[in-house]
Every structure is written in C-alpha cells, then in structure tokens.
Structure 1
Amino acid sequence: MKKAIFTLAIGDNPMYKAALKTFQQYADKVGADLIISEELHYKINIENPKYSASPAWPEKLYTAELLKLYDRVLYLDADILVTPWAKDIFEEYQDLETVYMFDEGRHLDRTLAISQINEALGPITNWNEINGKQSYYNFGMFLVSKNCKLFEKASLEGMQLVCNNVKFYDQTYINYTIQKHDIPNVCVDKEFNRMEFLGFEGYKEASFIHYAGRGYRIKCPSREIRYIHDYIEMYGQSFSAQQQKQLKLDAWNLFIKNLKRKSNVPEFLLHLLGKPTIGRKWL
C-alpha cells in the first residue's frame, strides 16, 4: 500500500524547516513518501474578507491529485512537530472509506462558523452532535484514503463561495462537505493533533504537536521560538551546538521582524531592548 505525507511549506520560516525534518524522519519510520507543496496549485479570489483568509488554504485540495498516485495520504500543517516517539497513525486508523481528523468542536464553540456556512450554502439540519456540541474538525491534520469520497466532493469552487464571509473558510467548508455528503468520519485521539487549548500538561508526550494559534506561547514571545525550543529538546542530539544556536537565532530574528512590522519600531532597537531581557532565556 503506497502512503504519502503531504504538507505545504512556503517561505523560510525556521519552524517550517524544522517541521519538514520531523516529517521526513516520520515518513521514513512509517514507510511513506514526503510530498511538499512549495508553490500553490490553486488560485482563489479573496477580496475584503470578513475574517482572516489566506490564499494558501485551498492547497489542501491537492490531496485529490495525490490520491490518484497513493492509497493513503496523511496531511500535516507545517506548524506541527512530529515527535520522535510518534505512533504509526496509518496502523492506528485503518478504515479506507473514513476520513480521520481531530474534532475540536467537542472542546470549542464553532457554532458561528457553522451557522455562516449553512447560510451561505444551504442549511444542514442534522449536523452531527457529540454530547450536545456540533462536530467540527480541525483541518490542520487529516488522514484520508483513496476509497474516501471527501476530496471528490470538495472543490475550489465551493471554497470560493465562502472564502470572504465564513470564518476559517477552508476548514468550515470541509466540515460542511463531510456533513452534506455523509462522509464517514472518525475523531482521532488528541495525541495526533495536540493543540494548546487542550492544556499544557503532558503536551510533549503527544505524537503530533500542533502549534496553531498562540502555539504554547506561555512565557514565550512567539510560537516559532516555542517550536524551535521544543524541537531542540527532542531532536537536539542529532545536530551540533552551533546548529542549535543558529536555529534559535533564526526564530528570534523572525520574532523581531514580525514585531517591527506591528510596532514600526526599528529592528536594531527591538534587538537592543529585547536580547538582554526576553532573549536571554531563549537564545
């Protein structure tokens, strides 16, 4: 059975570079090919969106093309860290007609996004509920197989209809597609998409740590810095002290660059003020 791990990584974010190394190690471990989209295959027209909306989000639709070549595809966002002790998700979840994702709707209220897409594309009155909460999968990780119909039903045209007016448009659209077409779906264990809202205790024990949103930023200036800190803690024995130092510096420089863009304070001044205080712990 041919297996692929698929991700989108555009740009020189040090977190992405580290993530790809963990993905490759995991791919070797589970006998899969690593497929990286470094450019976009789909063009979507985003104009004056009501919420944050990236033109890169439809790239996950490329899974449909990969399923012509592979029997099973695992998609991972490039802000996920696959730990050295990660379990083989292909072995854990084997039904070939089912899409496997983590149901964040069991923990977060996603009724706004669901109501928005119901209004945009037509109501689904029997939206699945778990313990009184509407099912709503996180789209940052999914496992799908050739026999599953999800990516036969999902389309760029569908995303175009909702990208400017629906919150988390790609994720919400996929959830709508699952519900509308009654695609078999199963919630994976939280260890395969461990996110900050689930708490900090024991998060490093997970198989896939997802640094979405704030990304475990407690007492840390950015999610990229936190990611690199955790990455070095788990994989540091495989590269030199100088390489570790450079990784930390790259993450710090990205933090300063983003802070400069938000504050308009010159980068040299941010470095001057930040390194003796915040940077001392992380560099």
Structure 2
Amino acid sequence: MLTEHIIRTTIEAALAEDAPAGDITCEATIPADAVGTARLTAREPGVMSGISVFSATFITQNPAIRVSSTIRDGERFEVGQSLAEVSGPVRDILTAERVALNLTQRMSGIAAMTAAFVAEVTRGNALPNAVTPRRYGHTRIVDTRKTTPLLRPFEKYAVTCGGGYNHRYGLSDAVMVKDNHLAALAEQGIDLTGAIRHIRERVGHTTHIEVEVDRLDQIPMALDGGADTIMLDNFSLDDTRTGVETIDGRAIVEASGNMTLDRVAAVAATGVDIISVGALTHSVRSIDLGLDYE
C-alpha cells in the first residue's frame, strides 16, 4: 500500500503546501552555498515507522541531500538515541525539516501505540482463564478506516510497524454490513440473514463479507446468512464470551468499540480473533523527535 509513488506524490504535495513560493526565512538568512549536518534524535522512547519517508522528504526537496539512518522501521528506540544523520545544503534541509518530522513523528506515534496494544493482547491471551482464538494463534490488533484523509497508506503501514494488522484498506476491498445498511434493507422487508444472502448473490465469490451486530440474538442470523466475519460491537465481556462460544469458529470474530489499553487484555481473553482499534489512528499522539544541527 505504501508505495514509492504514494510517498513521492504525498511529499511533493506537502512540500508545496508548506513552501508554495519558497522558504523566505531561509532565503533571507542562510547563504545559498551553506552546507551542514543535522541529526535526528529521539526525545522520548518509541517505535520507529517512516524512516524511509523521512529520508525521501529531504531527497525530494534536493537530491543533493544525503540521509543515513541507524534504525529500521519496527525497531524500538530510547531517549537520546541517534536515529539518522542528514547532510547537504542547509537551506533545503531546513525547508524540508518540518514535513519530514511531521510524517515520521505521527507514524512512529501510531507504531508505538499499536505496540502497546499488541503487548496487552499478548498478556490477555496468556491469562489463566483465557480462551484461545479459533482462527489465529493469538488475538490480532487491527486498525480501522478512521484515518487522516490522504494519509491512510502511511498510517496503516505504521500499524504494521507496531506489530498490528490492517483491516480493509477502503470501501472497495470488502463488504462490511453495518446498522445503517441493515436499516435500509429492512425497509425492503429483508432481514439480517436475507441481507447477507442478498449481498452474496451480488458480489464475486472471493469477496469477504463482514457483518456488525450489537445483540447476541443477531449472531445466529448472521451465521445462517454465511457471514465470513462477525463484528461484536460494544459487547460486554460476558456477552463477548457468549458470542465467541456461539460462533464457535464458524466465522472470524471481531470485537470493536471503546477499545482502550485498560480493557483490551480482558477482551482478548474472551477468545476473539480480532480486536479493531480506531484510536490507533484517530487519537494518536506524535512521538517527539528532534532534528538537531551539529
């Protein structure tokens, strides 16, 4: 998803947005022939994501800039750790600095938050009363479509750097039947089971169908319709356990709604296959990274 083409076109747009007519501060203060070196340093612990995006930003600004990194995506870093060195024309380094940091700080923040959720899920799966997920060896943390417009490839990639998995990329990738879809079909006299069968008749045989339910009594209807994934939306822990037992491996079980670090381990212990967390991308805090000149 995060291809070189997407990286390049996004960076070009971001640089143009930030300096549509050039960087007047640098042009007024920095000699055109000045060269220098700056170091990317961690100001707090985190998980790296977007080091190639960081490098590509400077190179897009000026191919004469050289970037060497000492860390790879997915690796943890500590306070004070040197992560990369940037050298070349000072004007262009300063002009590209904020775009490079904005993208990498946000991506690393997403990776760090995802890693924290993955650690809690691992702990939950190991609790004495934990139920083993039917489809996977452990419960997976996945993202949602609650991403920043036009930055989805960057944010979803960052989730994988933190050890998480991606949900559907967009509306074209899979069927997800939610309450509003069901309400629209109900006006046509089609119930939940009929809705899934109705959809199955109209999509290709490889298309995955997920159905969101908010009550236990909807689960048998979703199973009868042949849903591939059943999302238990805002279920209590007891109802989630009952839902997992009822589905019994006949569909992938996803838990969603109000997933916080405080409760995700307990949700994982119920035996759900997937826990989707919108906060990974819609409520993340950027990691504090600094570009310091030597």
TM-score by length of structure 1 reads 0.28
TM-score by length of structure 2 reads 0.27
- Structure with more contact order per residue of length (Cα contacts < 8 Å, sep ≥ 6): 2
The structure where helix makes up a greater share of residues is 1
